[in-house]
Amino acid sequence: MILTMAALAAIISTIMIMIATLLSKKTFSDREKSSPFECGFDPKTNARIPFSIQFFLIAIIFLIFDVEITLLIPLVMKMKTTQLINYTVLTSSFLLILIIGVFHEWNQGTLEWSN
């Protein structure tokens, strides 16, 4: 029973994806639609400005460490229900991994803004 239901769901999903693909065909060959809008005239300069890779790396590192910091919040709530030695080992190992990551990024020179 479960196998037939799973097969039926897979068949219905495949049919829906195929129908959506056929109905949503868009033409990307139109030059006017693919160019940036600038009052109906051809653009004078490139619309894609160069992006600082250093800024991008700093932003990615910030996001990674920000998410890891939010993982520390449940540890505070769990402190009341776990044994002290287990809590200490878990928290210390997690913080040690974060500190090692920061030192690695620092040694690689990713945290230096100017070259």
d(CA 77, CA 32): 56
Per-residue pLDDT reduced to its tens digit, 68-86: 888 888 888 888 888 889 8
Per-residue pLDDT reduced to its tens digit, 28-58: 555 666 666 656 666 566 666 677 778 888 8
- Give residue limits of the domains in the chain: 2-108
In angstroms, the Cα distances linking 109 to 22, 101, 106, 112 are 49, 13, 5, 5
CATH of domain 2-108: 1.20.58
Angle of helix 53-70 versus helix 84-108 axis, rounded to 10:
180
Q: Is 105 helix (H, G, I), strand (E, B) or coil?
A: helix
In angstroms, the Cα distances linking 15 to 11, 18, 44 are 6, 5, 46
